[in-house]
Amino acid sequence: MKLKQLAVSAVIAVAALTATGIALGDAGSGEASPIYGVKLPDGYRQWALIAPAQEAEPLNELRAVLGNDLAIKAYQDSTLPFPDGAVLVKLAWKHVQSPEFEPASIPGAATTVQVMVKDSSKYAATGGWGFGRFINGKPADEAQHQTCFACHQARVQNHDFVFTRFAQ
């Protein structure tokens, strides 16, 4: 390859990585969840927002669901089922009063980070999704992971087992 071609190719390659959002390191790090072997994805805190939510007592949480670029693109294109490689991460915090603005409540202490990874082969028995629930970066126990799919299956099977819709 000539150097001029190399220059052009290099720019295109980097630009493509940026544009299509192939997130290097989606595989994750740290301890894997029981049953599914799902890890916290690297860099997930920088992912785009799908939607916030609130969960009532007793959990009393503010939440936000983020998605990797494959997941965001699927939402934008209304692609269902989600493609393999799509990853959703739900962050949750205790819901506390703002000390600075009376009508507002804001995130307090972080509670859980919950991950869904789409791999239609690996997770064929659970709708193509693997689940991970993390507390302080450590996966919750097996009993907690046994509850994930049943609830998603019972309530949102018609949306590829995903509760959250994209907040326009």
Whole-angstrom distance, CA of residue 24 vs CA of residue 27: 8
Residue list 7-66, contact with its own copies (CB under 8 A): 7, 10-11, 14-15, 18, 45-49, 51-57, 59, 62-64, 66
Among 77, 101, 121, 136, binds its own copies (CB under 8 A): 101
Residue 26: Cβ within 10 Å count: 19
Please, is 163 exposed, middle or buried when counting C-beta atoms within 10 Å of its C-beta (0-12, 13-18, 19+)? middle
78 binding its own copies? (CB under 8 A): no
Structure tokens at 35: 């049953």
Nearer to its own copies, 9 or 142 (CB): 9
In whole angstroms, what separates CA 24 from the centre of its chain? 15
Whole-angstrom distance, CA of residue 121 vs CA of residue 123: 6
- CB of residue 121 vs its own copies: minimum separation in angstroms? 27
Nearer to its own copies, 30 or 142 (CB): 30
80 binding its own copies? (CB under 8 A): no
- CB of residue 120 vs its own copies: minimum separation in angstroms? 23
* C-alpha separations of 59 from 54, 94, 95, 115 in Å: 10, 8, 9, 18
Q: Taking a C-beta distance cutoff of 8 angstroms, is the pair 83, 71 a contact?
A: no
Candidates 6-14, 77-85, 125-133, 135-143 — which segment interacts with its own copies by CB under 8 A? 6-14
107 binding its own copies? (CB under 8 A): yes
Residues engaged in binding its own copies (CB under 8 A): 2-4, 6-7, 10-11, 14-15, 18, 45-49, 51-57, 59, 62-64, 66, 72, 91, 93, 95, 98, 100-101, 103-107, 110, 155-156, 163-165, 167-168
